[in-house]
Amino acid sequence: MKKLLIIVLMLTGTLSFAQNKNAKATTEVDGVCGMCKARIEKACLNTKGVKFATWDVKTHQLSLIFDERKTSLKTIEASVLAAGHDVKESKATDEAYASVHACCKYRDDDVKDAHQEGEEHKKGDGHNH
């Protein structure tokens, strides 16, 4: 009986530490355009263990599926920061931010305004740019 109890406890402990090979997470990432989207998603997908990454330009939500045995949300966020994009809890270094294209300077209000005006222009003229 004692051996059975030890085995059950060992299995319970092992199961509680099992890591999900298809973990899902969402986090907020700053950016303003399709170029940002491509950069953010590439940074994620180049992180070992990331199976799926998509970033929404309007909501700034990054949706991920990744293998927790190979990576973590913190590691993925570090890749995004290194690509020059701020995440919810941390800011990219000035050097990383400086590496993004001029139209992607999401910290600059003029750039953000220009992108918003561009979206309104697209809606109003009936063309898909």
Instruction: For the chain, 129 residues long, give each residue's pLDDT as a single digit of tens.
Output: 666 545 544 544 444 456 889 999 999 999 999 999 999 999 999 999 999 999 999 999 999 999 999 999 999 999 999 999 999 999 999 999 999 999 999 999 888 888 887 665 454 444 343
Q: How many independent structural domains does the chain possess?
A: 1
Q: Is residue 106 part of a domain?
A: yes
Residue 37 lies in a domain: yes
Token pair in block for residue 41 = 């998603």
Bridge partners (DSSP) of residue 61 are 28
Residue 4 lies in a domain: no
Number of Cβ within a 10 Å radius of residue 40: 25
The two tokens of residue 58 are 């309007």
Q: What is the domain-level CATH number for residue 107?
A: 3.30.70.100
The structure's pTM equals 0.77
In a domain, 9, yes or no: no
Domain that holds residue 49: 19-125
Annotate 25-92 with three-state secondary structure. EEEEECCCCHHHHHHHHHHHHCCCCEEEEEECCCCCEEEEEECCCCCCHHHHHHHHHHCCCCECCECC
Residue 88 within a domain: yes
Q: Per the domain annotation, does 11 fall within a domain?
A: no
- Residue 70 in domain: yes
Counting Cα atoms < 13 Å in the Cβ hemisphere of 80 gives 33
With a CB cutoff of 8 Å and minimum separation 6, the contacts of 47 are 66, 71, 75, 76, 79
Amino acid at 11: L
Tell me if 7 is assigned to some domain: no
